[in-house]
Amino acid sequence: MRFTISKNGIRLLSIISLYVGSSLYSFAQPDLIYLLRHAPKQTDAIDSKNPPISADGEKLAQRLAVRLKDEQISAVISSHLLRTQQTAQPTANAHQLTVTIPSQATSLTAHVDEVAALAMAQDGVVLIVGHSNTVPMLIKKLGGPPLTNLSENAYGDLFILRLTPDPTPSSKVGPKLQQERLSW
């Protein structure tokens, strides 16, 4: 009898082992996760499928780095697309970190699962830069409340997911979500 695993099967096993490894065998878990949709992209870019951020996008990325400068960021995670990486890079630079880019998963759900597993394997504070459809999915996957997809024209909404319990006795159990607006 011969046993074979497809490429997708290997990816799935890798994601599962990342998640299980971070959940069961590691005591690492972030206290706080910041999530942001990428900064505005260039609308007239030559590569319309993977455009860079615009001048306003660069301002927003710098504003994010300033907003998070006093945080103890332990990881910066972004998708493989240029606009998310460029949004994340100033914050990563300010904290002397490399932007972590997950594999290019075969489905949106697999991508969200992998990003969530990467984030949950960290201590401290994590920044995730995603997209209008992945940020709400990630918030839900990480235990936050359900959100609708973000508007295609909405930029600058910084979501703050606190995973550690609030020490006050009247606090609700589970992650808490706050939202603030970054202006540029």
Exposure string of 151-182, with b = 16+ CB inside 10 Å and e = fewer, is eeeebbbbbbbbbeeeeeeeeeeebbbeeeeb
What is the reported pLDDT for 19?
52
Provide the terminal-to-terminal Cα distance of the chain, rounded to the nearest Å.
62
6 C-beta neighbours (distance < 10 Å), count: 8
CA 61 – CA 85 distance, rounded (Å):
10
pLDDT band of 35, cuts 50, 70, 90:
very high
Q: What is the largest CA-CA distance in the chain?
A: 62
Query: What pLDDT is recorded for position 83?
Result: 96
pLDDT at 24 over 50: no
User: d(Cα 92, Cα 165) in Å, to the nearest integer?
Assistant: 27
Indicate the pairing of strand 30-37 with strand 176-181.
Answer: unpaired
pLDDT value of position 22: 44
- What is the reported pTM? 0.80
**163 versus 76: which is more confidently predicted?**
76
Integer Cα distance of 72 and 85 in angstroms: 20
8 A C-beta contact, residue 75 and residue 119: yes
* pLDDT greater than 60 at residue 34: yes
137 Cβ neighbours under 8 A, 6+ residues apart: 108, 109, 112
- Secondary structure (DSSP) of 55-121: HHHHHHHHHHHHHTTTS-EEEEEE-SSHHHHHHHHHHHHHTT-PEE-----SSHHHHHHHHHHHHHT
Structure confidence at residue 58 (pLDDT): 97
53 φ, ψ to 5°?
Answer: -80, 155
